[in-house]
Amino acid sequence: MAHERESYSRSVARRILTTSNTIAVVGFSRHPHKDAHSVPATLRAAGFKVIPVNPHATTVLGQKSYRLLTEVTEPVDVVEVFRPSPEAPGIARDAVAIGAKALWLQSGLRSDEARAIAEGAGLLYVEDRCMAVDRALFGITKST
């Protein structure tokens, strides 16, 4: 069963990365030494459009940062989450509300409730995987 789940997760991760261009990062850190900064920075360097969502920052990496996911004013393909698992259901609801196509919980994060919300609304869902690691694993880059 665990192998099936891993295979499914890899397949969905590849699909999300292949079909997505714009990533809203909830919990995008201002601090370069944190994964919540380096992972989205790496994705941006690979050609993805990355939108910071951090209530404590006005800009991150020179880009406007939004206080809340629901304040993002442009279409979002995937919402990447760098917040504690208990916050994931609320973020899932917000991802559905903004019309995102996928929800991705970074390594170490899991939420059955967030999964149910996302998949119930037709979003692709990945949890406990690093988006930057998977991007490199699959060799996916976007033209800018």
CATH of region 2-138 = 3.40.50.720
Residue-wise pLDDT tens digits, 30-39 = 999 999 999 9
pLDDT score of 2 more than 60: no
User: Which residues does 43 contact at the CB level (< 8 Å), separation at least 6?
Assistant: 23, 50, 131, 132, 135
Tell me whether residue 122 is exposed, middle or buried, using C-beta atoms within 10 angstroms of its C-beta: 0 to 12, 13 to 18, 19 or more: exposed
Residue 4 has pLDDT above 90, yes or no: no
Q: Given a cut of 60, is residue 108 above it in pLDDT?
A: yes
The answer on pLDDT for 15 being more than 70 is: yes
The predicted model scores a pTM of 0.94
**pLDDT attached to residue 3:** 46
